[in-house]
Amino acid sequence: MLEDARDRVAAALRCTAREVVFTSGATEANNLALFGTARALRRMHGALPRLIASAAEHPAVLAPLRLLQNEGFPLRLVPVDACARADTAAMEEEARGAAAALVALQWANNETGAVQDVARAGALAGTGAHVHMDAVQGFGKLPWSDALESAGTFTVSGHKIGAPKGIGALRVADGVALDPILVGGGQQRGRRAGTEPPALASAFACALELALAEQPAFAARARAHCELFLAAVRASGLRFSANQPAEEGSRLPNTLSLTLHGVDGRALLPACDAEGLDLASGAACSSGAALPSAVLLACGLPESLARATVRVSLGPSLAAAAVREAAERFVRAARRLYEVADR
């Protein structure tokens, strides 16, 4: 069952089975990719490689990079625009001046939905840099990108595409040196010690196949639903701005980032919760945090507006009527905040 699942995942990811490393999820996979390749590059080159990423990466990427920086690795975080799109030209410049480089870039931003120029970043692999892509947000939402195949490593998460929580995968291209971060067993060619879970791996393979097959239909439906939600908010007269790119194809089809102007952002999520809306102010994994989104701060939003921003993600089971109802509830919650602000 386990090796059948590995074969199926490999076919879906357009790689060989020996390149698939099962993990407990995307966080572990990103940690393995970054710690493992950074330390392997140091061992092989006898010098510290330069770490390069955008300032709006997921915490599962930025936190390992910060820890590596504490170990002495030089870290360069390139700026992003108002929609969290990374400056890939700056990445190229940073990589060009390094004896060895590790470049990390997400396929799409998890908060604003901005799709990154992964093709330009992936081309850096041809210059000798190791390129890692956090591809979690793209699978099942975006058409396949050939840039993933040029990356030395990329990450996929199970629960983001309908598999149970607790399973993910790291694709490690043939020839990529990777020092393990979990040791004590020889599983998975020595790259990740620990007994693999056959049932979770099989469920992950099934979910990945379904997500890729259903991607065009899901994207079209989610895009239409996002437009429904946005149209209702615009018609309400609320003072708001959208933080995702306007061009179709440059953003995830199911993700909105909306900033309300002139309200107390600290009350926004509680007001939405009172309306029965499951929204977040930033990354879903930090939805209970009181701090403003680091992504939005990197985009240049002041803290007051970052706090007054909500992330709307529309899932595959929502019907158009439910989306309209959600928009109406969001407008009601916002209007109550404006009433308080105008007193």
Q: Is residue 160 located within the same domain as residue 246?
A: no
**The last residue of a domain, from among 210, 233, 258:** 210
SS (H, E, C) the chain: CHHHHHHHHHHHHCCCHHHEEEECCHHHHHHHHHHHHHHHHHHHHCCCCEEEEECCCCHHHHHHHHHHHHCCCCEEEECECCCCCECHHHHHHHHHCCCCEEEEEECECCCCCEECCHHHHHHHHHHCCEEEEECCCCCCCCCCCCHHHHCCEEEEECHHHCCCCCCEEEEECCCCCCCCCCCCCCCHHHCCCCCCCHHHHHHHHHHHHHHHHHHHHHHHHHHHHHHHHHHHHHHHCCCEEECCCCCCCCECCCEEEEEECCCCHHHHHHHHHHCCCCCECCCHHHCCCCCCCHHHHHCCCCHHHHHCEEEEECCCCCCHHHHHHHHHHHHHHHHHHHHHHCC
Asked about 206 being catalytic, the answer comes back as no
pLDDT for position 285: 55
263 touches 338 (CB < 8 A): yes
Q: Is this structure's pTM higher than 0.85?
A: yes
Question: Of all residues in the chain, what percent carry a pLDDT higher than 90?
Answer: 90
Q: State residue 343's pLDDT score.
A: 67
> Pick the residue with more confidence: 339 or 79?
79
Domain that residue 175 falls in = 2-210
CB 103 within 8 A of CB 134: no
Angle at CA of residue 300, ends 299 and 306, nearest 5°: 85
Shared domain check, 168 and 253 = no
| pLDDT tens digits, one per residue of 58-78 | 999 999 999 999 999 999 999
Looking at the structure, do residues 181 and 240 belong to the same domain, yes or no? no
pLDDT class for 291, splitting at 50, 70, 90? Answer: confident
25 contacts 159 by C-beta, under 8 angstroms: yes
Examine the domain organization and report whether 107 and 138 are in the same domain. yes
Among 216, 218, 211, CA closest to 8: 211
- Give the mean model confidence (pLDDT) for residues 176-191: 96
Compute the average pLDDT of residues 237-249.
91
CB atoms within 10 A of CB 174: 9
For residue range 96-132, what is the model confidence (pLDDT) as tens digits? Answer: 989 899 999 999 999 999 999 999 999 999 899 999 9
267: exposed, middle or buried (Cβ count in 10 Å: 0-12, 13-18, 19+): middle
Q: Which residues pair with 312 in a beta bridge?
A: 256
* 9 plus 26 within the same structural domain: yes
What per-residue confidence (pLDDT) applies to 284?
Answer: 53
Q: What does the pLDDT average to over 137-160?
A: 96
Q: What is the pLDDT of residues 246-260, one digit of tens each?
A: 888 899 999 999 999
Task: Give yes or no: residues 88 and 205 share one domain.
Answer: yes
Q: What percent of the chain has pLDDT over 70?
A: 97
Residues 274, 198 within the same domain: no
- N-to-C CA span, the chain: 64
- Identify the pLDDT of residue 317: 86
Residue 55 sits in the same domain as residue 167: yes
Given the DSSP bridges, would you call strands 309-313 and 168-172 parallel, antiparallel or unpaired? unpaired
In the prediction, which pLDDT does 283 show?
A: 55
How far is Cα 137 from Cα 141, in angstroms, rounded to an integer? Answer: 7
Annotated catalytic residue, options 15, 226, 272, 285: 285
Looking at the structure of the chain, the number of domains it has is 2
Task: Tell me: do 316 and 171 sit in the same domain.
Answer: no
In whole angstroms, give the CA distance from residue 182 to residue 205: 23
Average of pLDDT values for 184-190? 94
Domain termination residue (choose one: 170, 194, 210): 210
pLDDT at 248: 81
Final residue of a structural domain among 169, 187, 210? 210
Q: Quick one: average pLDDT of 86-94?
A: 96
Torsion of the alpha carbons at 70, 75, 79 and 80, rounded to the nearest 10: -80
CATH code where residue 327 lies = 3.90.1150.10
Question: Which phi and psi angles does 29 have, rounded to 5°?
Answer: -60, -45
